A and B are shown apart, each in its own frame.
Chain A
């Protein structure tokens, strides 16, 4: 087990190094930053000494390999430098942006799983029924429907049309809390919940179908196993068979897929944050793109890669822990 873990960690570090190098190539070799180009459209009279100073400051005068070594060292020590736009250290700003993203994604994931799993179980237990077909339909639906369109529609109806008909919108259209923020902590929390309501609901609407379909398919696989036939033959109730026997065996793949889907959900949340103007990582990244804020872009891409690798690792480990067959195999 330890050997396996060690191997995985070494491979992970290797992958991280490749991703970091790729970042370097994209942002500093192929389309490198040059103060001359940056200031040229502004038509400012910047003296050459100042430009030289800027080059010095960002280490642009050093040879490429020195820059690369420094860059890799910085990346792996989480020293992402200072944002061009906000002039704050990237790490500090990232920690300010993280809560919104974590709040949105955490709550939407929990809600999606809590709604999707029972639907999937129901569909699997009544295979071929109308409920099952509806579940399959909902699952296929999520394949072909852009979540951002669902969000736009919900926004149109629950904010703008609601506003027109009732005078107040059911949900606000932008921000994480009212401005100025409410002083009372309880009221503030309620305010945040109100603001996050629409993004949350739309993410769940766009995601629960896929989740239900996934649960259904795993459970159906489990239900065709021999031990289920044995359990039924013993005369156990259908309920016991479903929950105590079949569903339990689906836990490892379900937990795995939760871990594996986190990175994808985070990138998907980028558009959500954009639409609802939530001050999260995704919105930050998009703003950094328009401002060519390279330190931020590099940092976010690197952190996304770390997150993906971590999630993969956790998925593997959890699978080993949850699945008795693998667990026993490891002990031997």
Chain B
């Protein structure tokens, strides 16, 4: 589904991503883990075409089509949705408005209504709060809202940027339960996460990034068992 070849990102003279290649197959959940500053978020931003002002090279193919030359707003039409770092909900709009806004690129009204109902089933907390302003939700609820909003665009590939960031441990568990539930509906997910344990427990496969390069690639179980991962990222 997604094939990245030799992706590089340079901020001025600094190379943040130094040529990474990886793939995500249809229906799987893949985790991209690593320490702060390893280049995970830069990789994801490059995929979402949010680094237009910087030098990015390499090839990004989505379902065989090169997307590295598209503008960011065109990606949702190709089936790629991003849940940005720090959630980015529309704070002064209601929960329901946030969700319908997620379907901005679509024009199939009845289908949109059906999807909204489906998302309320998947995320009942959002249904309870549908008229509340998004800015008044708790961090975890906002993360769920951002997830729901992205799903309203009917993506085939969902990019999640640090969904656990800034959340209380209990809420992190809840958010990851939701991510698993979304994955179970057949959406392909690329998950960028610092919390390596949770990410690998959620994903089927994983890549480890270190200073701009992918240094390990294995099944999630394999990575969880790998002594290097255990020592560096699981605190053992």
A interacts with B? no
A-binding residues in B (CB < 8 A): none
